[in-house]
Chain A
Amino acid sequence: MTVEAASRTWSQRHLLDVDGLSRSEIERILDLAVEMREARASRAYRSLLAAEAVGLAFYEPSTRTRVSFELAAKALGATTVDLHLAGSSVRKGESLVDTLRTLERTGVTMLVLRHRAAGAPHLAVRTTGMHVLNAGDGTHAHPTQALLDALTLRDALGSLDGRTVAIVGDVAHSRVARSNLHALGALGALVRVGGPTPWVTEFDGWPDVEVALSLAEALDGADAVMTLRVQTERATNDAVSLDEYVRDWRLDDSRMSLAKPEAFILHPGPTNEGVELTAALVNGPRSLIGRQVENGVPVRMAVMALLSGAA
């Protein structure tokens, strides 16, 4: 599909989560991302977003997401402004809405927002006229991460139809997992979530999601395993023992034999090596973790191009 064909039917101005996207819209983003990936070297599309001013508003620390959004915007010719929120007027108590309205007045046309509160990007949509890209809101959603995960898996597996993907770890507190449940499910995969009970039981009622209470159950027949970052503080709050987590859930070479022989490994990063998985797996041949990072820029290029209507 050409870039022109994609833009003709693209109607959404914002990317709040993946569950607002149809299968064909997700595929359109991934197809365009593949084009962008190839075109990036040849510097095509380098003035596609010349009219846009992209504001990077990261209220939580981030390296790979923030950098890849910035590079994606620049690769398409947009002006970017990084808010450096830690040192700005947020500290003086200015409200989120006031900050965003100020950004809009100064000329920002596209907002990339990361915020500790679920729904913060929805508030931006309601109170400003900027395009809003959710770069992670609380434990709700991280749609561009899920899209780059989907692209990485599609590259590796050919198609997600009929595939089984296990998501293992602190699923309850993971915006990456929630967005992946929508994205991978929409692309035809069976998604299984596995982890200590407090981190998975709430997904029991989710459509097309299986809950696994042991690693063997989670990995059985899996084509890919996505492990999530485990945070010590969350484990403590939920009475999950890190020692028991490592004992029951940490991925290593021998446990990967519970999955399909050729099964791949993903992690949204940054990894806690030795907790979620072993260093050998991170750097081993099954690991797609590097590919995930590489796909960050082209996926975000595709999303920005489509949302702006410039693609």
Chain B
Amino acid sequence: MSPGVFGRLTDAPASLLLAGVRVIDPSDGTDAIRDLAIHEGRFVDHAPADAERVDGHGLIAAPGFCDLHVHLRDPGDPATETVETGARAAAKGGFTTICAMPNTDPPADRPELVTALRERAAETACRIRAIGAATLGRRGERVADLDGMIGAGSIGFSDDGSAIPTDDLARSILSVLANLSVPLIEHAEDAALAGAGVMRAGPNASRLGLVGWPPEAEWTIVERDLALAEETGARLHLTHLSTAPSVKAVRIAKARGVNVTCDVAPHHLALTDAWVAGSRRFAWEQPEDGDLRIAYDGACRVNPPLASREDALTLLAGLADGTIDAIATDHAPHPLERKLVPFEEAAAGLIGLETAFSLGLAAVAGGALELPILLAALSTRPAAIIGESRSLAIGAQADLVVFNPTATWRMYADSLASASSNTPLLGRELPGVVRLTVAEGRVTYRS
């Protein structure tokens, strides 16, 4: 794969003619081969005569991707990721919007810190929206200035990394949000039930002698939050759901009208707890005995932990039936030295911005997901949750991704735009190469 070139949101708007490209637009159900013209930041009927012409043959154009869950280690740990490197990784992965979680150092728990992030993000390769901390210092004790942070541009609130620890505090936050427009973005995990668990409880954990993380650590908080969201009327967004009972709970809650949305991480759809035991089969492939020589790889440590195969398949089904609204990466960069340690000591999290779409395409190729659903779950559906629109119709803001669905690429640490390379997918050949990412009419990435 060619190294690729990055642009910025502050570049001059591009004039482009994408000739004969397959346009898939979940916003209106379009799936047709046609020309797409971009001029002065918008889709237009006809490109000007001097517009750059791109042969779209064999390529697919879709609305630009929107990631509801990204960790930029900025401020705090710029060697691991910065606003700049994270935005490039996003653009390379086809994203035109990413939402930054507030667990930086210091945490984004005040309006001025939200403003500071937006200012730093203004000239990068991707729109970066801020998620404010729900509690002061993310300590789970006192509600932060939510109203003030909304004024500064926060699109939601989360203590991600932890759930809101107590029932009454969760109710207080949701009560405040009931009168505001943005959701509580909940990392659903009961710390006491999770205990010292480091991988999903089950036969693989038992065999490896690792402490199991029980699914009820997640779904008990999901049930609590759904009840409180219903009671208060506030918006609730459950992030990185990883267990079948959580999906079921959300499905039932949606049916009775609870104001809830949710997302799933690509690694919970595609990878399974067998990866910790050295398997490298995707969830939709036939299971195999793992290669024990690559067992206990700290790169497979993530929280919530990689799901059982059964639950991964349930998550894929939940995405297909609309119970799960979006795919969000939970992109979590960590330096190698925090991963090159015994599994139980490894930092939790893996990078995802540059692999999310390819993992989704692998699921499509494996018959586990439909392409239009994948594209909607990456673009229109998450964008709607934060009040952004995505459309390839004439007159709409030009936010799009153009990719070759059949080309493959191999992932190497030194070819990543992210400043970190913590993923068990290194060295793996993946389908789907992004050729062009356009945000607000600016070319932010091309290869």
Do A and B pair up? The answer is yes
On A, residues with C-beta under 8 Å from B are 16-17, 19-20, 95-97, 115, 117-120, 122-123, 125-127, 137-141, 175, 178, 202-203, 205-206
B341:A122 contact, CB within 8 angstroms:
no
B343:A117 contact, CB within 8 angstroms:
yes
**B342 contact from A123, A141, A203, Cβ within 8 A:** A123
B337:A95 contact, CB within 8 angstroms:
yes
A118:B203 contact, CB within 8 angstroms:
no
A115:B342 contact, CB within 8 angstroms:
yes
A118:B340 contact, CB within 8 angstroms:
no
With the chains together, A137 CA to B292 CA distance in Å? Answer: 14
Most chain A C-beta atoms within 10 Å of own C-beta, residue among B207, B210, B295, B344: B207
Binary flags per residue of B32-56, CB closer than 8 Å to A gives 1, else 0: 0000000000000000000000000
Docked complex: B170-215 residues within 8 A CB-CB of A: 203, 206-210, 212
**B208 contact from A115, A119, A125, A203, Cβ within 8 A:** A119
- Return A57 CB to nearest CB of chain B, in Å: 13
Quick check: is B256 within 8 A (CB to CB) of the other chain? no
CB-CB under 8 A from B342, the residues of chain A are 96, 115, 117-120, 123
With the chains together, A69 CA to B337 CA distance in Å? Answer: 31
Most chain B C-beta atoms within 10 Å of own C-beta, residue among A20, A122, A125, A141: A122
B344:A118 contact, CB within 8 angstroms:
yes
B203:A119 contact, CB within 8 angstroms:
no
With the chains together, A19 CA to B293 CA distance in Å? Answer: 12
CB-CB under 8 A from A117, the residues of chain B are 342-345
Name 8 A/B residue pairs within 8 A (Cβ), A-sorted.
A16-B292, A118-B343, A125-B293, A137-B209, A138-B210, A139-B209, A140-B209, A205-B206
A206:B206 contact, CB within 8 angstroms:
yes
- Closest residue of chain A to B291 (Cβ to Cβ) is A20
Question: Given A95-B337, A96-B341, do A122 and B296 touch, yes or no (CB 8 Å)?
Answer: yes
CB-CB under 8 A from B5, the residues of chain A are none
- Return A34 CB to nearest CB of chain B, in Å: 27
CB-CB under 8 A from A118, the residues of chain B are 208-210, 296, 342-344
A126:B341 contact, CB within 8 angstroms:
no
CB-CB under 8 A from A139, the residues of chain B are 209-210
B206:A140 contact, CB within 8 angstroms:
no
CB-CB under 8 A from A126, the residues of chain B are 293-294, 297
On B, residues with C-beta under 8 Å from A are 203, 206-210, 212, 292-298, 337, 340-345
B206:A202 contact, CB within 8 angstroms:
yes
A127:B209 contact, CB within 8 angstroms:
no
With the chains together, A270 CA to B212 CA distance in Å? Answer: 27
- Return A96 CB to nearest CB of chain B, in Å: 7
Q: Which 8 A-B pairs have the closest CB atoms?
A: A119-B296, A140-B209, A117-B342, A139-B209, A118-B209, A202-B206, A122-B296, A119-B343
- Closest residue of chain B to A16 (Cβ to Cβ) is B292
Q: Do most interface residues of chain B lie in helix, strand or loop, or is the interface mixed?
A: helix
- Return A310 CB to nearest CB of chain B, in Å: 22
A119:B295 contact, CB within 8 angstroms:
yes
With the chains together, A119 CA to B294 CA distance in Å? Answer: 10
CB-CB under 8 A from B294, the residues of chain A are 122, 126
B209:A123 contact, CB within 8 angstroms:
no
- Return A227 CB to nearest CB of chain B, in Å: 19
CB-CB under 8 A from A20, the residues of chain B are 292
CB-CB under 8 A from B203, the residues of chain A are 205-206
Q: A118-B342, A122-B296 are in contact. List 20 more A-B contacts (CB 8 A).
A: A17-B292, A19-B292, A20-B292, A96-B342, A117-B345, A119-B344, A122-B294, A123-B296, A125-B293, A126-B293, A127-B340, A139-B209, A140-B209, A141-B209, A175-B209, A178-B207, A202-B206, A205-B206, A206-B206, A206-B207
With the chains together, A266 CA to B337 CA distance in Å? Answer: 42
CB-CB under 8 A from A17, the residues of chain B are 292
With the chains together, A138 CA to B196 CA distance in Å? Answer: 14
A123:B341 contact, CB within 8 angstroms:
yes
- Closest residue of chain A to B211 (Cβ to Cβ) is A139
With the chains together, A97 CA to B296 CA distance in Å? Answer: 14
B337:A122 contact, CB within 8 angstroms:
no
CB-CB under 8 A from A203, the residues of chain B are 206
- Closest residue of chain B to A203 (Cβ to Cβ) is B206
Most chain A C-beta atoms within 10 Å of own C-beta, residue among B203, B209, B298, B341: B209
- Return A208 CB to nearest CB of chain B, in Å: 13
- Closest residue of chain B to A179 (Cβ to Cβ) is B209
CB-CB under 8 A from A140, the residues of chain B are 208-210
CB-CB under 8 A from B293, the residues of chain A are 16, 122, 125-126
With the chains together, A175 CA to B206 CA distance in Å? Answer: 11
With the chains together, A122 CA to B344 CA distance in Å? Answer: 13
CB-CB under 8 A from A97, the residues of chain B are 340-341
CB-CB under 8 A from A19, the residues of chain B are 207, 292
- Return A26 CB to nearest CB of chain B, in Å: 16
**B341 contact from A95, A175, A202, Cβ within 8 A:** A95
With the chains together, A126 CA to B344 CA distance in Å? Answer: 16
B209:A138 contact, CB within 8 angstroms:
yes
With the chains together, A283 CA to B337 CA distance in Å? Answer: 49
With the chains together, A95 CA to B347 CA distance in Å? Answer: 14
- Closest residue of chain A to B210 (Cβ to Cβ) is A118
- Closest residue of chain B to A137 (Cβ to Cβ) is B209
- Closest residue of chain A to B196 (Cβ to Cβ) is A237
CB-CB under 8 A from B296, the residues of chain A are 118-119, 122-123
Most chain B C-beta atoms within 10 Å of own C-beta, residue among A119, A139, A140, A178: A119
CB-CB under 8 A from A95, the residues of chain B are 337, 340-341
With the chains together, A97 CA to B298 CA distance in Å? Answer: 13
CB-CB under 8 A from B337, the residues of chain A are 95
- Return B211 CB to nearest CB of chain A, in Å: 8
- Closest residue of chain A to B198 (Cβ to Cβ) is A118
With the chains together, A138 CA to B207 CA distance in Å? Answer: 12
With the chains together, A123 CA to B209 CA distance in Å? Answer: 15
With the chains together, A78 CA to B13 CA distance in Å? Answer: 71
- Return B372 CB to nearest CB of chain A, in Å: 38
